[in-house]
Amino acid sequence: MTVPSTQTVVYEWLRHDKKFPHVWCPGCGLGILLGALVRALAASGLTKDQVALVSGIGCAGRLPVYVDVGSIHTTHGRALTFATGIKLSKPELTVVVVMGDGDAMAIGGNHLIHAARRNLDLVAVVVNNRTFGMTGGQFSPTTPMGAKTTTALYGHIEPEFDIAAVCATAGAALVARSTVYHVDRLERLLLQALQKKGFSVVEVMSPCYTNFGRQNLMASHVVMMKQLKEQGIPVERWQKMSEIERRGSFPLGVLVDRDLPGYLDSYREVCKTAAKLRSEGKI
């Protein structure tokens, strides 16, 4: 596959009426994700009119604003509910939802597990930077125990959520994880999620130096990127590792891939049944 040049991607998929450089901090992983997502969209063969991009609030929520497709920047935690409405009324669209970890797991946690359970054909991209980036680095449900945050000055005292594991348990059809450092893998996983029928989740580990790294005495976002490089272990290798070896790292790749009955099909069936009963005068 030839790599589309940055210039081609920028010209064809980013909005020309938005101001660049974008708002994110220097070295923020969100810019890398934006590139990977756009390249995956280009590789999927979808046209811009066939894609809808939905986001909640947060630094991650800013992402759809830059992509030249139908996009909506919704309220905090409710991106999946808007996306559900879009998909039900226009099933022909490929609906991609971009959320931060706070957006998806804190205020929107309920929506995420129920969207996964319902298995509607959506792509959820959850950017896990382990903190509430936009509001100044408070702890989120994915902040690791012991980490310092604006609201945990002496170290966080709660264990963290594993987003991928939660989604897998809740019933998502595809669950995958990558970091922004492993950008080629990220691109492949996003493409796979776009092509998968059913609820697909891609957890993207991303550095937030400004509001997480600085509080935890990391020297720069480059150091954080190097850390992600070491912590992310391909799932094939991860499975062979012992519990002790796994400490401090996480598996990358496709964690769950299964075919489940989709909500859209069941919904169409029930519509048909209702229409039939009505035509027979039974309701």
Ligand X SMILES: Cc1ncc(C[n+]2csc(CCOP(=O)(O)OP(=O)(O)O)c2C)c(N)n1
Q: Which residues bind another protein (CB under 8 A)?
A: 2-3, 5-12, 14, 16-17, 19-22, 24-32, 34-36, 180-181, 183-184, 187, 220-222, 225-226
- Computed from CA positions of residues 31, 128, 39, 62, in that sequence, does the dihedral angle turn out positive or negative? negative
Tokens 């989604």 — which residue? 167
* CB-nearer residue toward ligand X: 93 or 224: 224
Residue 32 burial (C-beta neighbours within 10 Å; 0-12, 13-18, 19+): buried
CB of residue 224 to another protein, shortest distance in Å? 11
As separate numbers, helices (DSSP H) first and strands (DSSP E) second, the chain gives: 11, 8
What does 210 interact with, of another protein, ligand X, ligand SF4, none (CB < 5 to 8 A by kind)? ligand SF4
Backbone angles phi, psi at 51, to 5 degrees: -120, 140
In the region spanning residues 187 to 246, those forming contacts with ligand SF4, defined by CB under 6 A, are: 208-211
117 DSSP β-pair partners? none
Whole-number minimum distance, CB 188 to ligand SF4, in Å? 19
Q: Choose among ligand SF4, ligand X, another protein, none what residue 132 binds, the Cβ cut-off being 5 to 8 Å by kind.
A: ligand X
Piece of the chain touching ligand X by CB under 6 A; list 53-61, 157-165, 236-244, 269-277: 53-61
Please give the residues from 139 up to 168 whose contact with ligand X meets the rule CB under 6 A. 140
Nearer to ligand X, 35 or 102 (CB): 102
Q: With CB under 6 A, what is the number of residues at the site for ligand X?
A: 18
2 or 89: whose CB is closer to another protein?
A: 2
Q: Rounded to an integer, what distance in angstroms lies between the CA atom of residue 125 and that of residue 135?
A: 20
Residue 10 binds: one of another protein, ligand X, ligand SF4, none (C-beta under 5 to 8 A by kind): another protein
Helical axes 29-44 vs 183-195, angle rounded to 10°:
50
Query: Helix, strand, coil shares of the chain as percentages rounded to 5?
Result: 45, 20, 35
Pairing of strands 250-257, 174-179: antiparallel
Cβ closer to ligand X: 39 or 76? 76
Query: Does 135 interact with ligand X (rule: CB under 6 A)?
Result: yes
**Residue with tokens 């691109």, as numbered in its chain:** 187
Q: Does the protein bind ligand SF4 through residue 65 (CB under 6 A)?
A: no
Q: How far apart are CA 220 and CA 153, in angstroms?
A: 20
Give dist(CA 247, CA 190) in Å, integer: 27
User: From the CB of 64, what's the least distance to ligand SF4, in Å?
Assistant: 15
Q: Rounded to whole angstroms, how far apart are CA atoms 239 and 85?
A: 38
Residue 8 near which of another protein, ligand SF4, ligand X, none (CB within 5-8 Å, type-dependent): another protein
Chain residues binding ligand SF4 by CB under 6 A are 24-25, 28, 30, 59, 129, 133-134, 208-211
